[in-house]
Amino acid sequence: MKKIRILVCDPIHDDGIKALMEAGFEVELQTSISGSELVEAVIEYDALVVRSRTKVTKEVFEAGIRLKAVARAGVGLDNIDLEEAKKGGVEVLNSPEAPSNAVAELVLGLMLSLARRIPEADSSMKRGEWIKRRLTGSELKGKTLGIIGFGRIGYILGKKAKAMEMRVLTYDVVVDQLMHLVEEVGAEAVSMEELLKESDFVSLHVPLLPQTRHMIGAREIEVMKESAYLINAARGGIVEEDALREALTIGRLAGAALDVFEKEPPEDTSLTGLRSTVCLPHIGAATEEAQRANSTIVAKKLIELLSRG
């Protein structure tokens, strides 16, 4: 019987690789493989393991005559051509449960950074300045957090925010199916308009789909308070960056925290360079715990799928 071969295209935690090898699969690591190289190589493999760097395109699926599965060690699937996968009968797996707490904790950190002006205070100290009188911030207690998308991350973030005595509003297109979670957290399900209008912090937790691309643009920002902060640790394309840059430049919003961008890394620094922004290089899931979970969860799912033949 031919041995099942798996190509790991991006770095994942060793525990997942170990699990795949112990299951009897042949695992090869090519963690810097290019798109054109993948099209040539995929013919030899039964499964691919990727993160966000590798794009699994139509050309990859067409060339992958042995391909049975693509496993994304992480949440988003926007780097995988799902239509082509379905057409070719290729299973697409991911691990949305793995990084949820890591991302929720990061968002909480970003909220504190914005409210207490922590990055500005730190950079001023490194310049040898003492600008204590200019760094009056605000507390999270008593403020309103609006969570757009109340899935795993939104739910965990809501619980953490309530523990900090914040009011939590949430909007989700399938909120009726999530009401038990909304009630468990002690949040309030509201319309998008009401959430934008009343929130001091708006945090985005939706996937990047055609219907969510640029869901936060000039019109939505206009509804928000001038004292509000926008946080995006989901996907870059959800926010219309030109509109956000304009709003921050003219003082229409107090600030923004971004862990994701439409183009990564961003070539234009006119948004990331603003004093009113806190910007990170897509590190939402970059914790030891989340990376181990990403790796082991997709490995387990792959083993179950491929062992069934």
Indicate which CATH number applies to the domain containing 45.
3.40.50.720
Q: How far apart are CA 133 and CA 301, in angstroms?
A: 54
Q: Which two tokens stand for residue 128?
A: 């040898």
Same domain, 191 and 235: yes
Same domain, 118 and 65: no
Same domain, 233 and 212: yes
Same domain, 193 and 296: no
What is this structure's pTM? 0.89
H helices then E strands: how many in the chain?
12, 12
Same domain, 173 and 71: no
Q: How far apart are CA 168 and CA 143, in angstroms?
A: 9
Same domain, 270 and 297: no
Helix (H) or strand (E) holding 27: strand 26-29
Q: Supply the range of the domain harboring residue 170.
A: 100-279
Q: Enumerate the active-site residues.
A: 235, 264, 282
Q: Please return the burial class of 127, using the count of CB atoms within 10 Å of its CB with bins 0-12, 13-18 and 19+.
A: exposed
Express each pLDDT in 148-201 by its tens digit: 999 999 999 999 999 999 999 999 999 889 999 999 999 999 999 999 999 999
Same domain, 92 and 121: no
Q: Looking at residue 1, what is its pLDDT? A: 59
User: How much is the mean pLDDT over the chain?
Assistant: 96
Number of domains in the chain: 2
Same domain, 130 and 199: yes
- Cβ 64 vs Cβ 91: under 8 Å: no
